[in-house]
Amino acid sequence: MADLVLRAAEARELGAVLGFWLTAAENAARPADSPAALAALHLRDPGALIVAVDGDEIVGTVIAGWDGWRCHLYRLAVAPSRRRAGIGRALIAAAEERFRALGGTRADAMVLDDNEGAHAVWAAHGYRRQGEWSRWVKPL
């Protein structure tokens, strides 16, 4: 991880991020991410999409969304060939640092129920499943 850099994604990288998510992110049971949606996120909050890069290669991502009230984590993804090397841990720490700087006091992570590997990652970083809540969704 010596050459690893964590930083906000640049607009020119958004297409590469979408491509990265096709192989590195959990994509089941969800609509595909679109270039327009990712561009809108980046325009609204350029610091929300954090990338881990090694040279010119994107090797990890997390969206650290802050709506002014709550802190939300999405799309934590690490390149399959780079997993278990601390990249996910570094991304989570960077997201939490961003939230603290913005005044956030609690973060939540969106994790699919059947993504057992992700459960272990989030639990190792102090996140716990909140049993009394369910996420309700409606496609728009």
Strand partners for 62: 50
End-to-end C-alpha distance for the chain, whole angstroms: 40
Domain ranges of the chain: 4-124
* Topology adopted by domain 4-124: Aminopeptidase (3.40.630)
Q: Which residues contact 1 (CB under 8 A, 6 or more apart)?
A: 85, 86, 87, 90
Q: Give yes or no for a contact between 1 and 22, defined as CB atoms under 8 angstroms apart.
A: no
pTM for the full predicted model = 0.91
Give per-10-residue mean pLDDT for the chain (140 aa): 89 96 84 91 96 96 94 95 94 96 92 84 87 76
Please tell me what DSSP assigns to residue 113.
T
Q: Which two tokens stand for residue 85?
A: 């090397």
